[in-house]
């Protein structure tokens, strides 16, 4: 057993707008005892995702909010330190919602064995995990691209967006990505093979979409919401399909901000706008993971990890992500062991 | 042949906001000559529909705009005065886009024989015509109601909304209608059998929806857009389906007005918002018309016609409709003959 100290990031106060580091607190508690049917897991790689902003807000959502004083939630991949659960043994690599802490307890419903033959274990919370599966099912089941379609994706260099664009290329689509720096735009075009990229911080998104999508927009995979989305929708083609995966530009708003009414574009083009959460396809995760792993293995999908060393840096990394600072899949490297 | 005068309503100037009667002009021209392959049709009942506002605007839409000096477009049912088209004879009752004029020419692509055994001929542009088919396909194919679902419909006493609500009742749904007067609300509840009605002019729509939809909203059939729609969307259930049929509150806007951003409700509830135009199901019109006629015959669907006598009153009726003044399917009775 390790030294009996478990560091945790807990919620000190509910953020008003963009979270501040002072909204969170780093505390030390004893490592929890492992009961029958449970695993004690040491956190190795912690995934940081924009959706976690929603868990810090009180009020109805698809998941319970983190209570004041509660450990922040999130998925990690870790190593079993002690097993009192049949089918698992000390040393196994598992994935699960350990939360923002160095050690956590998982049970049979929450512990998932990681197939370490598929790739480095960090990919089990990245390209072969929730972000990759979100891209896979959201694009294929909601956007439903056809060969030759023009697909636009926002937050295009992010953990989800970069995979969306590469799958759309595999599906023989024209792919246009929107990102927040010239470096990110170069990456998606030069490294990932997108047909065009738009820097929303320096370009007028509407005219850039018009130029990059001469045949209009057939599918829009939306990670950001707000103004960028409102700039894309006027270019919808007949029967365009928009998948709402995230709305990072709106996550810090308690009440909806104002924007131009966009339903006219949905109406005239008989478009479909559909929100989704990846859990809908939970019974098909193995299919998605296998196809993603194959594409990674044969080089059709590349992935980029944005690794922040040290558990203590998680809040800063999370706040940076909400402001668009990360570049690739954001991970906290909690421990080497 | 009749006296050689054809009165027409033509577009004099493009309306800025709500159309004014002075934007249109009543002119007299000779009755057009009937060429080979054509029918000369006398206009009997002219349908007035909100979508026609869009045809008065220049710029891209799903249909060509009416040019300045051009006859206003619209569907009518009329009587063949002269036939040079095989399969039609003088005296036949036909439906088609005659436009806002007393006589018009139809050809084989535009003339549709009316089955007068199904009901009064005016119903061929009402409950058994485009408005009825719009309700039928929009509700069944876009909202896709299941027994027990709660369906909300706006402009609920209108030509489309009243049929939507009654079909939803046939489908064993709870039906809540939104309309613009206590008289209209009484009509949909007491005459048509809706479960509840909301007067958006005197009630707070959000709290009224909350009260009338204790189990949330599974389907929303939207004819109005704007604030009313923004008040309904927060009550969406998981996988709610919203059909955008019309946006009458926005038709007088050249550029989009501002409203609260609503995609959060689509995202969190994994809802679907889909725009549609009835033409999508043109190959199934006969199916729709047959079912609607059966429901009308057995009393499961009632319809109300708002008849304005006299061709000269068309602009006033149209402007009134855009302001919510009509009550039921708005028709101009052009001629008795």
CA distance B48 to B74: 7
Give A-chain residues touching B271 at CB under 8 angstroms. 274-275
B39 CB-near residues (< 8 Å, 6+ apart): B80, B82, B83, B84, B85, B88, B94, B105, B106, B107, B111
Angle, helix B130-137 to helix B161-170, in steps of 10 degrees: 40
A263 vs B62, B225, B260: nearest CB = B225
Angle, helix A130-137 to helix A161-170, in steps of 10 degrees: 40
pLDDT tens figures, A194-240: 999 999 999 999 999 999 999 999 999 999 999 999 999 999 999 99
| Token pair 């000779």 in the structure block, residue | B30
In three-state form (DSSP H/G/I as H, E/B as E, the rest C), the secondary structure along chain A is CCCCCEEEEEECCCCCCCCCHHHEEEEEECCCCCCCCEEEEEEEEEECCCCHHHHCCCCCCCCCCCCCCCECCCCEEEEEEEECCCCCCCCCEEEECCCCECEEEEECCCCEECCCCCCCHHHHHCCCCHHHHHHHHHHHHHHCCCCCCEEEEECCCCCCHHHHHHHHHHCCCEEEEEECCHHHHHHHHHHCCCCEEEECCCCCHHHHHHHHCCCCEEEEEECCCHHHHHHHHHHEEEEEEEEECCCHHHCCCCCCCEEECCHHHHHHCCCEEEECCHHHHHHHHHHHHHHHHHHHHCCCCCCCEEEEECHHHHHHHHHHHHCCCCCCEEEEECCCC
Which is it for strands B24-29 and B93-96: parallel, antiparallel or unpaired?
A: unpaired
The C-alpha torsion from B150 through B154 and B155 to B160, rounded to 10°, is: -60
CA distance to partner chain B, nearest, from residue A47 (Å):
21
Contact B165/B194 with Cβ under 8 angstroms? yes
B259 vs A258, A272, A273: nearest CB = A258
Give B-chain residues touching A63 at CB under 8 angstroms. none
B294 CB-near residues (< 8 Å, 6+ apart): none
**Chain A residue with the nearest C-alpha to that of B60:** A268
Give the pLDDT means over successive 10-residue stretches in chain B (337 positions): 85 94 97 97 96 84 85 97 97 97 96 94 96 98 98 97 98 98 98 98 98 98 97 98 94 90 96 97 96 97 96 96 91 91
Judged by CB atoms closer than 8 Å, whether chains meet at B258 and A260 is answered as yes
Give A-chain residues touching B270 at CB under 8 angstroms. 274-277, 280
Contact B41/B97 with Cβ under 8 angstroms? no
CA distance B100 to B70: 10
Judged by CB atoms closer than 8 Å, whether chains meet at B256 and A258 is answered as no
From the candidates A245, A273, A277, which should be mutated to test the interface with B, based on the most B CB atoms within 10 A? A273
Window 271-300 of B: residues touching A by CB (8 A cutoff) are 271-277, 280
Judged by CB atoms closer than 8 Å, whether chains meet at A263 and B269 is answered as no
- What pLDDT score was predicted for residue B3? 78
- Go through B158-177 and write b for each residue having 16 or more CB atoms within 10 A of its CB, e for each that does not: bbbbbbbbbbbbebebbbbb
CA distance B19 to B15: 5
CA distance A154 to A160: 10
CA distance A186 to A175: 14
| Residue B42 structure tokens | 């006398």
Nearest 5°: phi and psi at B217? -115, 120
pLDDT below 70 — which residues of chain A? Answer: 1-2, 60-62, 337
- What pLDDT score was predicted for residue A62? 66
A240 lies within 8 A of chain B by CB:
no
| Residue A144 structure tokens | 């439903």
Residue B333 Cα distances to B114, B145, B301, B320, angstroms: 17, 36, 23, 16
Nearest to B155 by CA among B120, B171, B179, B185: B179
In sequence order, what are the beta bridge partners of A39? Answer: A83, A106
B333 CB-near residues (< 8 Å, 6+ apart): B44, B45, B307, B308, B309, B310
Residue B173 Cα distances to B133, B164, B275, angstroms: 19, 11, 22
What angle is formed at CA B86 by the lines to CA B82 and CA B87, rounded to 5 degrees?
Answer: 95
Domains and CATH numbers, chain A: 6-116+305-333 (3.90.180.10), 130-279 (3.40.50.720)
Give A-chain residues touching B235 at CB under 8 angstroms. none
- What pLDDT score was predicted for residue B198? 98
B60 CB-near residues (< 8 Å, 6+ apart): none
């Amino acid at each position: 057993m390790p030294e009996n100290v478990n560091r945790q990031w807990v919620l000190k106060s509910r953020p008003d707008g963009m979270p501040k580091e002072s909204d969170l607190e780093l505390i030390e508690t004893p490592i929890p005892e492992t009961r029958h049917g449970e695993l004690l897991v040491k956190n190795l790689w912690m995934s940081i995702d924009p959706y976690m902003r929603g868990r810090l807000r009180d009020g109805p959502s698809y998941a319970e909010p983190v209570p004041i004083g509660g450990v922040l939630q999130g998925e990690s991949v870790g190593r079993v330190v002690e097993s009192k659960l049949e089918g698992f043994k000390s040393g196994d690599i598992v994935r699960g919602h350990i939360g923002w802490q160095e050690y956590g307890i998982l049970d049979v419903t929450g512990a998932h064995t990681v197939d370490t033959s598929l790739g480095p274990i960090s990919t089990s919370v990245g390209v072969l995990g929730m972000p990759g599966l979100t891209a896979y099912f959201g694009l294929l089941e909601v956007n439903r691209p056809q060969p030759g379609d023009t697909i636009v994706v926002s937050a295009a260099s992010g953990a989800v967006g970069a995979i969306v664009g590469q799958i759309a290329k595999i599906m023989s689509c024209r792919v246009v990505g929107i990102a927040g720096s010239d470096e990110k735009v170069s990456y998606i075009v030069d490294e990932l093979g997108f047909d065009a990229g738009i820097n929303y911080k320096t370009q007028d998104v509407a005219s850039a979409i018009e130029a990059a999508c001469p045949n209009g927009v057939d599918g829009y995979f939306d990670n950001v919401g707000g103004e960028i989305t409102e700039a894309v929708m006027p270019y919808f083609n007949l029967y365009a399909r928009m998948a709402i995966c995230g709305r990072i530009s709106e996550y810090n708003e308690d009440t909806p901000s104002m924007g131009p009414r966009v339903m006219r574009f949905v109406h005239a083009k008989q478009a479909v706008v559909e929100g989704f959460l990846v859990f809908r396809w939970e019974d098909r995760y193995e299919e998605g993971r296998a196809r993603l792993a194959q594409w990674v293995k044969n080089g059709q999908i590349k992935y980029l990890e944005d690794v922040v060393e040290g558990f203590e840096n998680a809040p800063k990394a999370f706040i940076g992500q909400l402001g668009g600072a990360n570049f690739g899949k954001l991970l906290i490297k909690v421990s080497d062991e």
